[in-house]
Amino acid sequence: MTKPTASFWIHKLLLQPHAEGGYFRETSHSPELIVTEDRRERYLYSNILFLLTADNPSHFHRLKSDEVWYFHEGNALTIHLLHPDGCYEAVKMGRQTEKGELFQFTVPKGVIFGSSIEGQSGDYALVSCMVSPGFDYRDFELLPYDALLKDYPDCGPILEKLAYKTLPGTSFRSGPT
Q: Which pLDDT tens digit goes with each residue over 49-65?
A: 999 999 999 999 999 99
| Inside any domain, residue 1 | no
The residue with greater pLDDT, 40 or 160, is 160
| Inside any domain, residue 177 | no
* Number of domains comprising the chain: 1
CATH code (residue 60): 2.60.120.10
The conformational region for residue 15 under phi > 0 = left, psi -120 to 50 = alpha, else beta, is: beta
Q: Within its chain, how far is the Cα of 110 from the centroid?
A: 13
| Inside any domain, residue 168 | no
Predicted confidence at residue 176, as pLDDT, reads 46
Please report, for residues 87, 100, 104, 116, 160, the alpha-carbon distance to residue 154 in angstroms, rounded to integers and kept in the order given: 9, 25, 28, 19, 12
pTM for this predicted structure: 0.91
| Inside any domain, residue 173 | no
Does the pLDDT at position 172 exceed 50?
A: no
| Inside any domain, residue 176 | no
Separation CA 168–CA 131 (nearest Å): 23
Q: Residue 109 is part of which domain span?
A: 6-162
